[in-house]
Amino acid sequence: MTLPPAVLIDWTTSQSGVGAPFGWNISNGGNTIRFDVQDSFNCGGPNNNIQSGTAFAALSAQARFNMTVSLTGIGEREDPNYENMTLNFNGTNIITSTSSGGGLGCAAGGPVVQTILVPGPYFLPKNSDNAFQLTFTTRDELYHIGCFYQCNLTFTLLDPPDIFEFYASPNPQTSGITGIPSANTVFFWNTFGAETLSINQGVGNLSSISGSTGTIDTGLQSIAGSVSPATKTYTLTAANSAGTTTAQTTVSVYNDNDPSAFTIPDQTNLEPNQSYIINVGTISSSVIDMITSVTGLNGATVSKNNTTSWNTKMTIDPNNSVQVRFFSLGFNQSPEGLTNSTTYGVTIGTQTAYFTATTRAPDVNETFNLPDEVDRVPYPDIDTIDEPSEQYIVSNTLSVDDIELINPSGVEIRTNNGNAQIRKKITGTSTWGPWQDVRSI
Protein backbone atom coordinates (compact mmCIF):
# COMPACT_ATOMS: atom_id res chain seq x y z
CA MET A 1 0.00 0.00 0.00
CA THR A 2 1.42 3.40 -0.99
CA LEU A 3 2.17 5.89 1.77
CA PRO A 4 0.35 9.20 1.26
CA PRO A 5 2.49 12.27 0.57
CA ALA A 6 4.81 12.48 3.55
CA VAL A 7 6.25 15.91 2.88
CA LEU A 8 4.72 18.61 0.74
CA ILE A 9 7.28 19.64 -1.90
CA ASP A 10 6.80 22.80 -3.93
CA TRP A 11 9.53 23.27 -6.57
CA THR A 12 10.48 26.57 -8.20
CA THR A 13 13.04 26.30 -11.03
CA SER A 14 15.01 28.52 -13.35
CA GLN A 15 17.58 27.74 -16.08
CA SER A 16 19.70 29.40 -18.74
CA GLY A 17 21.72 28.36 -21.77
CA VAL A 18 19.52 25.34 -22.37
CA GLY A 19 16.24 24.77 -24.16
CA ALA A 20 13.38 22.31 -23.59
CA PRO A 21 13.16 19.40 -23.15
CA PHE A 22 16.55 19.84 -21.52
CA GLY A 23 17.07 21.48 -18.17
CA TRP A 24 14.95 20.70 -15.09
CA ASN A 25 12.48 17.81 -15.14
CA ILE A 26 10.42 16.83 -12.06
CA SER A 27 8.76 13.44 -11.41
CA ASN A 28 7.72 10.97 -8.71
CA GLY A 29 5.45 13.47 -6.99
CA GLY A 30 8.30 15.94 -6.63
CA ASN A 31 10.62 13.41 -4.97
CA THR A 32 12.83 13.18 -8.06
CA ILE A 33 14.30 16.15 -9.95
CA ARG A 34 17.02 16.08 -12.63
CA PHE A 35 18.87 18.46 -14.88
CA ASP A 36 19.24 17.09 -18.42
CA VAL A 37 22.35 18.57 -20.05
CA GLN A 38 22.02 19.48 -23.72
CA ASP A 39 24.72 18.11 -26.04
CA SER A 40 27.53 20.60 -26.81
CA PHE A 41 28.38 21.90 -30.29
CA ASN A 42 31.91 20.43 -30.43
CA CYS A 43 30.53 16.91 -29.98
CA GLY A 44 28.04 17.32 -32.79
CA GLY A 45 25.30 18.84 -30.63
CA PRO A 46 23.62 22.23 -31.06
CA ASN A 47 24.59 23.99 -27.80
CA ASN A 48 27.57 26.34 -27.48
CA ASN A 49 26.41 27.91 -24.19
CA ILE A 50 27.36 27.50 -20.56
CA GLN A 51 24.30 25.72 -19.14
CA SER A 52 23.03 26.40 -15.61
CA GLY A 53 19.95 26.13 -13.42
CA THR A 54 18.62 26.61 -9.91
CA ALA A 55 15.81 24.60 -8.27
CA PHE A 56 14.33 25.62 -4.93
CA ALA A 57 11.84 23.61 -2.87
CA ALA A 58 9.91 24.43 0.29
CA LEU A 59 9.52 21.17 2.24
CA SER A 60 6.59 21.14 4.70
CA ALA A 61 6.68 18.18 7.06
CA GLN A 62 3.40 17.13 8.71
CA ALA A 63 5.17 14.80 11.12
CA ARG A 64 8.72 13.86 12.12
CA PHE A 65 10.69 12.48 9.17
CA ASN A 66 14.19 11.44 8.27
CA MET A 67 15.12 12.55 4.76
CA THR A 68 17.61 10.60 2.65
CA VAL A 69 19.18 12.27 -0.40
CA SER A 70 21.27 10.93 -3.27
CA LEU A 71 22.85 12.70 -6.24
CA THR A 72 23.39 10.44 -9.24
CA GLY A 73 23.71 10.77 -12.99
CA ILE A 74 26.00 10.64 -16.03
CA GLY A 75 28.78 13.25 -16.45
CA GLU A 76 31.08 14.18 -19.37
CA ARG A 77 34.48 12.39 -19.63
CA GLU A 78 37.02 15.05 -20.66
CA ASP A 79 37.96 17.10 -17.59
CA PRO A 80 36.71 16.81 -14.01
CA ASN A 81 34.48 19.56 -12.74
CA TYR A 82 33.28 20.50 -16.22
CA GLU A 83 29.82 19.93 -14.67
CA ASN A 84 28.79 20.47 -11.03
CA MET A 85 25.66 20.11 -8.94
CA THR A 86 25.37 21.21 -5.31
CA LEU A 87 22.58 20.41 -2.81
CA ASN A 88 21.91 22.88 -0.01
CA PHE A 89 19.54 22.02 2.89
CA ASN A 90 18.40 24.75 5.30
CA GLY A 91 21.39 26.96 4.41
CA THR A 92 24.10 24.25 4.49
CA ASN A 93 25.70 22.51 1.52
CA ILE A 94 25.28 18.79 2.22
CA ILE A 95 26.20 17.02 -1.08
CA THR A 96 28.01 17.87 -4.31
CA SER A 97 28.44 15.86 -7.50
CA THR A 98 30.62 16.43 -10.54
CA SER A 99 31.87 14.88 -13.76
CA SER A 100 34.70 12.42 -13.39
CA GLY A 101 36.86 13.60 -16.28
CA GLY A 102 39.46 11.29 -17.87
CA GLY A 103 40.56 13.12 -21.04
CA LEU A 104 38.13 11.14 -23.18
CA GLY A 105 36.63 14.15 -24.99
CA CYS A 106 33.38 13.25 -26.70
CA ALA A 107 33.29 9.71 -25.38
CA ALA A 108 30.08 8.50 -23.75
CA GLY A 109 29.65 9.91 -20.24
CA GLY A 110 30.27 8.02 -17.04
CA PRO A 111 28.80 8.02 -13.52
CA VAL A 112 29.08 11.30 -11.68
CA VAL A 113 31.23 11.59 -8.56
CA GLN A 114 29.25 12.32 -5.39
CA THR A 115 30.82 13.98 -2.32
CA ILE A 116 28.87 13.94 0.96
CA LEU A 117 29.66 17.06 2.97
CA VAL A 118 27.15 16.43 5.79
CA PRO A 119 26.14 12.81 6.33
CA GLY A 120 22.43 12.02 6.38
CA PRO A 121 19.76 11.21 7.12
CA TYR A 122 18.48 14.75 7.57
CA PHE A 123 15.85 15.35 10.23
CA LEU A 124 12.60 17.21 9.51
CA PRO A 125 10.70 18.19 12.69
CA LYS A 126 6.93 17.85 12.87
CA ASN A 127 5.03 20.76 11.29
CA SER A 128 8.29 22.27 10.03
CA ASP A 129 9.05 24.26 6.89
CA ASN A 130 12.44 23.53 5.31
CA ALA A 131 14.46 25.00 2.44
CA PHE A 132 16.02 22.72 -0.17
CA GLN A 133 18.09 24.07 -3.09
CA LEU A 134 19.90 22.53 -6.06
CA THR A 135 22.27 24.43 -8.28
CA PHE A 136 23.80 23.12 -11.53
CA THR A 137 26.32 24.60 -13.94
CA THR A 138 28.69 23.60 -16.69
CA ARG A 139 32.15 25.22 -16.62
CA ASP A 140 32.13 25.83 -20.39
CA GLU A 141 30.31 24.75 -23.53
CA LEU A 142 32.58 21.81 -24.42
CA TYR A 143 32.20 18.05 -24.49
CA HIS A 144 28.72 17.63 -22.89
CA ILE A 145 26.94 14.65 -24.45
CA GLY A 146 24.24 12.39 -22.99
CA CYS A 147 24.68 13.86 -19.49
CA PHE A 148 22.19 14.39 -16.64
CA TYR A 149 22.34 15.04 -12.88
CA GLN A 150 19.53 13.61 -10.73
CA CYS A 151 18.50 14.18 -7.08
CA ASN A 152 16.35 11.56 -5.32
CA LEU A 153 14.57 12.29 -2.03
CA THR A 154 13.10 9.65 0.28
CA PHE A 155 11.31 10.22 3.59
CA THR A 156 10.98 7.85 6.54
CA LEU A 157 8.18 8.56 9.00
CA LEU A 158 9.38 8.46 12.59
CA ASP A 159 5.91 8.61 14.27
CA PRO A 160 2.91 6.26 14.27
CA PRO A 161 0.03 7.35 12.02
CA ASP A 162 -2.34 10.16 12.93
CA ILE A 163 -6.11 9.57 12.76
CA PHE A 164 -7.76 12.97 12.44
CA GLU A 165 -11.35 11.70 12.14
CA PHE A 166 -13.28 8.44 11.96
CA TYR A 167 -17.07 8.42 11.67
CA ALA A 168 -20.03 6.69 10.06
CA SER A 169 -22.84 8.18 8.00
CA PRO A 170 -25.75 7.89 8.31
CA ASN A 171 -25.44 7.67 12.08
CA PRO A 172 -27.85 7.07 13.59
CA GLN A 173 -29.33 4.98 10.82
CA THR A 174 -33.06 5.75 10.67
CA SER A 175 -33.87 3.58 7.63
CA GLY A 176 -34.54 6.50 5.36
CA ILE A 177 -38.06 7.22 4.07
CA THR A 178 -39.09 3.83 2.70
CA GLY A 179 -40.35 2.24 5.89
CA ILE A 180 -38.08 -0.76 5.28
CA PRO A 181 -35.52 -1.50 8.03
CA SER A 182 -31.88 -0.88 7.14
CA ALA A 183 -28.72 -1.28 9.19
CA ASN A 184 -26.38 -0.02 6.48
CA THR A 185 -23.84 2.75 6.94
CA VAL A 186 -20.62 4.05 5.36
CA PHE A 187 -17.38 4.70 7.26
CA PHE A 188 -15.24 7.77 6.62
CA TRP A 189 -11.79 8.60 7.95
CA ASN A 190 -8.94 11.06 7.62
CA THR A 191 -5.49 9.74 8.51
CA PHE A 192 -1.87 10.65 7.99
CA GLY A 193 1.11 8.36 7.71
CA ALA A 194 -0.79 5.05 7.59
CA GLU A 195 0.61 2.19 5.56
CA THR A 196 -2.31 -0.12 6.43
CA LEU A 197 -5.84 0.51 7.70
CA SER A 198 -8.41 -1.93 9.06
CA ILE A 199 -11.77 -1.87 10.85
CA ASN A 200 -12.85 -4.63 13.21
CA GLN A 201 -16.34 -6.18 13.61
CA GLY A 202 -15.86 -8.10 10.37
CA VAL A 203 -15.15 -5.11 8.09
CA GLY A 204 -11.48 -6.05 7.57
CA ASN A 205 -8.60 -4.37 5.75
CA LEU A 206 -9.33 -1.17 3.83
CA SER A 207 -8.10 -0.70 0.29
CA SER A 208 -8.29 3.10 0.46
CA ILE A 209 -5.90 4.91 2.78
CA SER A 210 -7.49 8.31 2.31
CA GLY A 211 -11.10 7.57 1.34
CA SER A 212 -14.17 5.74 2.59
CA THR A 213 -15.60 2.25 2.54
CA GLY A 214 -18.54 1.07 0.54
CA THR A 215 -21.81 0.25 2.26
CA ILE A 216 -21.40 -1.74 5.48
CA ASP A 217 -24.27 -3.78 6.92
CA THR A 218 -23.88 -3.45 10.67
CA GLY A 219 -26.36 -6.26 11.28
CA LEU A 220 -27.96 -4.25 14.10
CA GLN A 221 -31.62 -4.77 15.04
CA SER A 222 -33.18 -2.29 17.43
CA ILE A 223 -35.99 -3.22 19.82
CA ALA A 224 -38.25 -0.23 20.34
CA GLY A 225 -39.21 0.48 23.91
CA SER A 226 -36.26 -1.37 25.43
CA VAL A 227 -33.05 -1.33 23.38
CA SER A 228 -33.35 1.56 20.99
CA PRO A 229 -31.27 2.55 19.25
CA ALA A 230 -29.14 -0.54 18.87
CA THR A 231 -25.42 0.28 18.95
CA LYS A 232 -22.12 -1.23 17.88
CA THR A 233 -18.62 0.20 18.39
CA TYR A 234 -16.05 -0.05 15.59
CA THR A 235 -12.29 0.41 15.90
CA LEU A 236 -10.12 1.82 13.10
CA THR A 237 -6.50 0.65 13.28
CA ALA A 238 -3.85 2.58 11.34
CA ALA A 239 -0.31 1.19 11.20
CA ASN A 240 3.09 2.00 9.73
CA SER A 241 6.69 0.99 10.46
CA ALA A 242 6.80 3.35 13.46
CA GLY A 243 3.74 2.00 15.25
CA THR A 244 -0.05 1.70 15.46
CA THR A 245 -2.84 4.18 16.20
CA THR A 246 -6.53 3.41 16.83
CA ALA A 247 -9.79 5.36 16.91
CA GLN A 248 -13.35 4.30 17.67
CA THR A 249 -16.82 5.29 16.55
CA THR A 250 -20.17 3.97 17.76
CA VAL A 251 -22.90 3.32 15.20
CA SER A 252 -26.54 3.68 16.25
CA VAL A 253 -29.50 2.15 14.43
CA TYR A 254 -33.24 2.83 14.66
CA ASN A 255 -34.78 0.10 12.52
CA ASP A 256 -37.68 -1.54 14.40
CA ASN A 257 -40.83 -1.51 12.28
CA ASP A 258 -42.35 -4.50 14.09
CA PRO A 259 -45.29 -3.20 16.15
CA SER A 260 -47.28 -5.36 18.53
CA ALA A 261 -50.06 -7.39 16.95
CA PHE A 262 -53.21 -5.27 16.65
CA THR A 263 -56.87 -5.91 15.83
CA ILE A 264 -59.59 -4.00 14.02
CA PRO A 265 -63.16 -4.88 15.08
CA ASP A 266 -65.57 -6.30 12.53
CA GLN A 267 -68.11 -3.82 11.24
CA THR A 268 -71.76 -4.93 11.06
CA ASN A 269 -75.20 -3.58 10.10
CA LEU A 270 -73.64 -1.17 7.57
CA GLU A 271 -75.64 0.82 5.07
CA PRO A 272 -74.97 -0.14 1.45
CA ASN A 273 -72.35 1.63 -0.68
CA GLN A 274 -71.27 3.99 2.09
CA SER A 275 -67.82 5.25 3.13
CA TYR A 276 -66.73 4.38 6.66
CA ILE A 277 -63.65 5.39 8.67
CA ILE A 278 -62.13 3.43 11.56
CA ASN A 279 -59.46 4.85 13.86
CA VAL A 280 -56.87 2.08 14.13
CA GLY A 281 -55.04 3.94 16.91
CA THR A 282 -51.70 5.57 17.71
CA ILE A 283 -48.59 3.54 16.88
CA SER A 284 -46.41 4.72 19.72
CA SER A 285 -42.64 4.97 19.93
CA SER A 286 -42.76 2.16 22.47
CA VAL A 287 -43.53 -0.31 19.65
CA ILE A 288 -41.73 1.18 16.61
CA ASP A 289 -38.73 3.49 16.43
CA MET A 290 -38.46 4.25 12.71
CA ILE A 291 -40.48 5.46 9.76
CA THR A 292 -42.82 2.56 9.04
CA SER A 293 -44.89 1.57 6.02
CA VAL A 294 -48.71 1.35 6.31
CA THR A 295 -50.77 -0.33 3.57
CA GLY A 296 -54.51 -0.73 3.05
CA LEU A 297 -55.54 -4.14 1.70
CA ASN A 298 -58.37 -5.30 -0.58
CA GLY A 299 -59.34 -1.77 -1.56
CA ALA A 300 -59.01 -0.09 1.82
CA THR A 301 -57.11 3.20 2.01
CA VAL A 302 -55.18 4.65 4.94
CA SER A 303 -54.41 8.03 6.43
CA LYS A 304 -52.52 9.37 9.43
CA ASN A 305 -53.20 11.90 12.14
CA ASN A 306 -56.81 12.36 10.95
CA THR A 307 -55.82 14.09 7.73
CA THR A 308 -57.97 13.99 4.61
CA SER A 309 -55.25 12.51 2.44
CA TRP A 310 -56.07 8.86 1.71
CA ASN A 311 -53.67 6.46 0.00
CA THR A 312 -53.27 2.77 -0.53
CA LYS A 313 -49.78 3.01 0.98
CA MET A 314 -47.98 5.60 3.11
CA THR A 315 -45.37 5.90 5.86
CA ILE A 316 -45.80 6.97 9.45
CA ASP A 317 -43.47 8.16 12.19
CA PRO A 318 -43.52 6.82 15.74
CA ASN A 319 -46.49 8.26 17.70
CA ASN A 320 -48.57 8.86 14.56
CA SER A 321 -52.19 7.69 14.55
CA VAL A 322 -53.58 5.56 11.73
CA GLN A 323 -57.05 5.61 10.18
CA VAL A 324 -58.52 3.22 7.60
CA ARG A 325 -61.32 4.04 5.16
CA PHE A 326 -63.44 1.49 3.31
CA PHE A 327 -66.71 1.28 1.38
CA SER A 328 -69.52 -1.08 2.31
CA LEU A 329 -70.89 -3.42 -0.33
CA GLY A 330 -74.28 -2.98 -1.89
CA PHE A 331 -77.23 -5.09 -0.81
CA ASN A 332 -77.06 -8.85 -1.24
CA GLN A 333 -79.17 -9.54 -4.34
CA SER A 334 -80.62 -12.78 -3.05
CA PRO A 335 -84.48 -12.61 -2.78
CA GLU A 336 -84.19 -14.19 0.65
CA GLY A 337 -82.92 -10.89 2.11
CA LEU A 338 -79.40 -11.83 3.25
CA THR A 339 -76.48 -9.73 4.51
CA ASN A 340 -73.47 -8.94 2.27
CA SER A 341 -69.89 -9.18 3.64
CA THR A 342 -66.32 -8.57 2.52
CA THR A 343 -62.90 -8.49 4.20
CA TYR A 344 -60.48 -5.57 4.39
CA GLY A 345 -57.04 -5.37 5.97
CA VAL A 346 -54.30 -3.01 7.15
CA THR A 347 -50.57 -3.79 7.31
CA ILE A 348 -48.36 -1.73 9.64
CA GLY A 349 -44.70 -2.65 9.34
CA THR A 350 -44.63 -6.42 9.76
CA GLN A 351 -48.09 -6.84 11.30
CA THR A 352 -51.43 -7.23 9.48
CA ALA A 353 -54.98 -7.11 10.82
CA TYR A 354 -58.11 -8.07 8.86
CA PHE A 355 -61.71 -7.16 9.59
CA THR A 356 -65.08 -8.03 8.06
CA ALA A 357 -67.45 -5.32 6.83
CA THR A 358 -71.07 -6.55 6.65
CA THR A 359 -73.83 -4.68 4.84
CA ARG A 360 -77.21 -5.22 6.52
CA ALA A 361 -79.88 -7.37 4.88
CA PRO A 362 -82.27 -5.48 2.61
CA ASP A 363 -85.99 -5.28 3.40
CA VAL A 364 -87.81 -7.66 1.04
CA ASN A 365 -91.26 -7.34 2.69
CA GLU A 366 -93.92 -4.72 2.02
CA THR A 367 -95.81 -3.23 4.93
CA PHE A 368 -99.43 -3.44 3.82
CA ASN A 369 -101.66 -0.45 4.31
CA LEU A 370 -104.83 -1.58 2.46
CA PRO A 371 -108.09 -0.91 4.35
CA ASP A 372 -110.45 -3.77 5.00
CA GLU A 373 -113.11 -4.35 2.34
CA VAL A 374 -116.44 -4.51 4.26
CA ASP A 375 -119.99 -4.89 2.82
CA ARG A 376 -118.84 -4.65 -0.76
CA VAL A 377 -120.10 -6.91 -3.54
CA PRO A 378 -118.92 -7.03 -7.14
CA TYR A 379 -122.16 -5.53 -8.57
CA PRO A 380 -125.21 -3.86 -6.98
CA ASP A 381 -127.83 -6.22 -8.50
CA ILE A 382 -126.30 -9.59 -9.05
CA ASP A 383 -129.58 -11.13 -10.32
CA THR A 384 -129.75 -8.97 -13.43
CA ILE A 385 -126.34 -9.90 -14.70
CA ASP A 386 -125.77 -12.98 -16.76
CA GLU A 387 -122.49 -13.85 -15.12
CA PRO A 388 -121.25 -16.53 -12.78
CA SER A 389 -122.37 -15.91 -9.23
CA GLU A 390 -118.79 -15.54 -8.04
CA GLN A 391 -117.19 -12.20 -8.99
CA TYR A 392 -113.91 -10.49 -8.03
CA ILE A 393 -113.68 -7.37 -5.91
CA VAL A 394 -110.85 -4.95 -6.80
CA SER A 395 -109.05 -3.46 -3.79
CA ASN A 396 -107.59 -0.01 -3.52
CA THR A 397 -104.14 0.46 -5.08
CA LEU A 398 -101.15 -0.45 -2.91
CA SER A 399 -97.88 1.47 -3.43
CA VAL A 400 -94.96 -0.96 -3.00
CA ASP A 401 -92.30 1.29 -1.40
CA ASP A 402 -90.86 -0.69 1.51
CA ILE A 403 -88.84 -3.22 -0.50
CA GLU A 404 -85.12 -2.25 -0.68
CA LEU A 405 -83.82 -5.06 -2.88
CA ILE A 406 -82.86 -3.98 -6.37
CA ASN A 407 -82.97 -7.22 -8.33
CA PRO A 408 -84.14 -7.68 -11.93
CA SER A 409 -85.93 -10.88 -10.94
CA GLY A 410 -87.92 -9.04 -8.27
CA VAL A 411 -89.51 -10.56 -5.17
CA GLU A 412 -92.42 -12.92 -4.98
CA ILE A 413 -95.94 -11.81 -4.06
CA ARG A 414 -98.23 -14.34 -2.35
CA THR A 415 -101.64 -14.20 -0.71
CA ASN A 416 -103.48 -16.32 1.82
CA ASN A 417 -106.20 -17.14 -0.70
CA GLY A 418 -105.46 -18.93 -3.91
CA ASN A 419 -108.42 -17.30 -5.61
CA ALA A 420 -106.88 -13.84 -5.35
CA GLN A 421 -105.08 -12.24 -8.30
CA ILE A 422 -102.88 -9.20 -8.67
CA ARG A 423 -101.92 -6.79 -11.35
CA LYS A 424 -99.10 -4.22 -11.30
CA LYS A 425 -98.27 -0.87 -12.81
CA ILE A 426 -94.82 0.65 -12.77
CA THR A 427 -94.72 3.96 -10.95
CA GLY A 428 -94.84 6.85 -13.38
CA THR A 429 -96.73 4.91 -16.09
CA SER A 430 -100.49 4.71 -16.80
CA THR A 431 -100.82 1.15 -18.07
CA TRP A 432 -101.71 -1.75 -15.81
CA GLY A 433 -100.45 -5.19 -16.51
CA PRO A 434 -102.72 -8.25 -16.73
CA TRP A 435 -104.25 -9.97 -13.73
CA GLN A 436 -102.07 -12.83 -12.52
CA ASP A 437 -102.59 -15.73 -10.18
CA VAL A 438 -100.29 -15.93 -7.14
CA ARG A 439 -99.30 -18.68 -4.78
CA SER A 440 -100.90 -19.10 -1.42
CA ILE A 441 -98.96 -18.21 1.68
Across all residues in the chain, what is the average pLDDT? 89
pLDDT at 138: 94
* Position 315 confidence tier, pLDDT thresholds 50, 70, 90: very high
Each residue of 92-122: pLDDT tens digit?
999 999 999 889 988 888 999 999 999 999 9
- Look at residue 264 in the predicted model and tell me its pLDDT: 97
pLDDT tens digit string along 138-161? 998 889 988 999 999 999 889 898
Least confident of 197-201, 228-232, 417-421, 427-431: 417-421
Name which of 212-226, 251-265, 337-351, 364-378 the model is least confident about: 364-378
Residue 277 bridge partners (DSSP): 325
User: Which secondary structure element, helix H or strand E, spans residue 155, and what is its range?
Assistant: strand 148-157
Task: Give the span between the Cα atoms of 150 and 37, in whole angstroms.
Answer: 11
pLDDT for 36-84, tens place per residue? 999 998 888 889 999 999 999 999 988 889 999 999 999 999 988 899 9
| Span(s) in the chain for CATH 2.60.40 | 162-253, 267-359
By C-alpha distance, which of 42, 38, 41, 27 is closest to 83? 38
Q: How many CB atoms lie within 10 A of CB 352?
A: 13
pLDDT recorded at residue 389: 53
Predicted local distance difference test score (pLDDT) of residue 3: 43
Residue 405 to residue 335: CA distance in whole angstroms: 8
pLDDT over threshold 60, residue 387? no
Query: What pLDDT, on a 0 to 100 scale, did the predictor assign at position 180?
Result: 87
Residue 381: what pLDDT? 57
Asked if 71 contacts 112 with a C-beta cutoff of 8 angstroms, the reply is yes
How much is the pLDDT for 383? 56
Distance CA 279, CA 323 (A): 4
Q: What is the largest CA-CA distance in the chain?
A: 172
What confidence tens digit (pLDDT) does each residue in 176-197 have? 788 888 899 999 998 888 889 9
* Distance, C-alpha 231 to centroid of its chain: 20
Mean pLDDT, range 25-39, rounded to an integer: 94
Confidence of residue 5 (pLDDT cuts 50, 70, 90): low
pLDDT at 405: 73
On whether the 7-157 domain is CATH 2.60.120, my answer is yes
Average pLDDT over residues 347-351: 94
313: pLDDT strictly greater than 60:
yes
For domain 267-359, the question of CATH label 3.40.50 is answered with: no
> What is the predicted pLDDT for the residue at 44?
82
Higher per-residue pLDDT: 236 or 429: 236
The predicted model scores a pTM of 0.62
Three-state SS string over the chain comes to CCCCCCEEEEEEEEEECCCCCCEEEEEHHHCEEEEECCCEHHHCCCECCCCEEEEEEEEEECCCEEEEEEEEEEECCCCCCCEEEEEEECCEEEEEEECCCCCCCCCCCEECEEEECCCCCEEECCCEEEEEEEEEEECCCCCCCCCEEEEEEEEEECCCCEEEEEEEECCCECCCCCCCCCCEEEEEEEEECCCEEEECCCCEECCCCCCECCCEECCCCCECCCECCEEEEEEEEEEECCEEEEEEEEEEECCCCCCCCCCCCCEEEECCCCEEEEEEEEECCCCCCCCEEEEEECCCEEEECCCCCCECEEEECCCEEEEEEEECCCCCCCCCCCCEEEEEEEEECCEEEEEEEEECCCCCCCCCCCCCCCCCCCCCCHHHCCCCCCCCCCCCCCCCCCCCCCCCCCCCCEECCCCCEECCCCCCCCCCCCCEECEEC
CB atoms within 10 A of CB 434: 7
What pLDDT is stored for residue 370 in this prediction?
Answer: 75
> What confidence score (pLDDT) does residue 2 get?
41
Query: Which pLDDT belongs to residue 1?
Result: 35
| pLDDT category of residue 356 using cuts at 50, 70 and 90 | very high
Give the rounded percent of residues in the chain with a pLDDT score beyond 90: 59
Q: How far apart are CA 391 and CA 373, in angstroms?
A: 14
The pLDDT, as a whole number, for residue 226 is 83
Give me the CATH code for the 162-253 domain, please: 2.60.40
306 has a pLDDT exceeding 80:
yes
